[in-house]
Amino acid sequence: MLKIDAHQHFWIFDAIRDSWITDDMHVIRRDFLPHDLQYVLHENGIDGCIAVQADQSEEQNGFLLHLTEGNDFIKGIVGWVDLQAENIEARLEFYSHTRLMKGFRHVLQGESNRALMLEPAFKRGISLLSKYNFTYDILIFPDQLKYAAQLAQEFPQQKFVLDHIAKPDIKSNKIGEWAADIKQLAANKNVYCKVSGMVTEADWHNWTNDTFTKYLDVVFNAFGTERIMFGSDWPVCLVAAEYSAMKAILGGYVQQFTAAEQDMIFGGNAVSFYKL
């Protein structure tokens, strides 16, 4: 069974485009390219990865697809398209001819319209993804979980995956409303969940593996071992944890499950979801 990191990023740092990388995140204010990651994956027993967009442009798609050349450990790309565009079907048809483009994502967490995903133009784009066998990564904050549940319910044939367990406020130890909304979203069997990004929502300098246990309990009880996949969120995770530490959080937690279930969480589910 392939071991897969289902969520990481590459970029050539641009201070204007990447203004979200603030001064306190200086450790990632530089370029991150395949040669930076390849050794880290090998060191951590990971066979391959899914590279996810870090910029909302089709130029980013070309950049990521170009990086796959000669780097066969990059097993797939989650890119970006304007789902609300008039020509969305033509763009999806175009990307359907690129073997490694597996799906798309929009930075919904940054939209002032918190329910943008339920607008007719956006839903029209979502409705076309399954025709071309594309997945959709849901990047949101907890206040948008209810909208995501409605979206998933409206498109039961579409494969969705929730990024970063919807970024609960771990630093403030908040869990109640987020937990209820996770359960509602997970009731849609077409939705998977990436256990990724958690360390950046905690106190970067004062977390332990136990910090995340109750949040992991929620997502595992909601999604089950068959719809959860490991993602490092490298290099963003580096502001709070080395790759090995990020992997160890989940690795320690899943010791309660069978070896077969652990294999699915650390690779099999990603292989199935993204058709690697």
How much is the pLDDT for 47?
98
Residue among 180, 188, 110 at smallest CA distance from 151: 188
How much is the pLDDT for 96?
98
* Token pair in block for residue 167: 């970024």
Mean pLDDT on 44-60: 97
How much is the pLDDT for 254?
98
How much is the pLDDT for 74?
98
- Token pair 């029209």 is found at 124
The Cα 213–Cα 89 span in angstroms is 42
The Cα 185–Cα 148 span in angstroms is 7
How much is the pLDDT for 167?
98
Mean pLDDT on 229-247: 98
The residues that bridge with 201 in the sheet, in sequence order, are: none
- What is the number of helices (H) and of strands (E) in the chain? 10, 8
How much is the pLDDT for 120?
98
How much is the pLDDT for 28?
97
Query: Domain residue spans in the chain?
Result: 4-274
How much is the pLDDT for 29?
97
- Token pair 């929620």 is found at 218
- Residue 264: which pLDDT band, with cuts at 50, 70 and 90? very high
Q: How far apart are the first and last CA of the chain?
A: 12
The Cα 32–Cα 28 span in angstroms is 8
The CA radius of gyration of the chain, in Å to the nearest whole number, is 17
Whether residue 78 contacts residue 111, with contact meaning beta carbons closer than 8 Å, is answered with: no
Architecture label for domain 4-274: Alpha-Beta Barrel (3.20)
The whole model's pTM is what?
Answer: 0.98
- Residue 62: which pLDDT band, with cuts at 50, 70 and 90? very high
| DSSP assignment string, 104-135 | EEE-GGG-SSTTGGGSHHHHHHHHHHGGGT-E
Residue range 213-235, pLDDT digits in tens: 999 999 999 999 999 999 999 99
Residue 58: count of CB within 10 angstroms of its CB? 16
Residue range 121-159, pLDDT digits in tens: 999 999 999 999 999 999 999 999 999 999 999 999 999
- Token pair 């996770």 is found at 182
Mean pLDDT, rounded, of the chain: 98
Residue range 27-39, pLDDT digits in tens: 999 999 999 999 9
φ, ψ of residue 18 in degrees (nearest 5): -100, 40
Counted residue by residue, the chain has a size of 276
